[in-house]
Amino acid sequence: MLKLVWLIALGCIAWRLYSGRWPWQPKLAGGKPTRSFEAARARALLGVAAGASRRDIVEAHRRRIAAVHPDRGGSAEQVHEANAARDLLLAQVPAEI
């Protein structure tokens, strides 16, 4: 019985190394999410348009953080998601001179 458990665990680890996901995780339709999909999700999270400026992104981030901050009933995970969305969108905005 113990050998069977070890073989299953080893098989799951091998699957994870080969496919990049655990056997019980669903497979995404197109494989891994693309950068544009992640950017669209980040824009939806912050509520900004596709051509938003750096200032718009920062202001939307401040509003989102104020809404989901742990002191106001939100969670740390929501704050991390908002920060990641801000960082992703700011990385795509051309640098201002």
The pLDDT tens digits for 42-68 are 999 999 998 899 999 999 999 999 999
Q: How confident is the model at residue 36 (pLDDT cuts 50, 70, 90)?
A: confident
* Domain definitions of the chain by residue range: 34-97
* Whole-number pLDDT of residue 22: 79
Would the pLDDT of 17 be above 90?
no
Answer yes or no: CATH 1.10.287 is held by domain 34-97: yes
pTM for this entry: 0.63
Please say whether the beta carbons of 81 and 69 come within 8 A: no
CB atoms within 10 A of CB 85: 23
Q: What gap in Å lies between CA 32 and CA 17, rounded to an integer?
A: 15
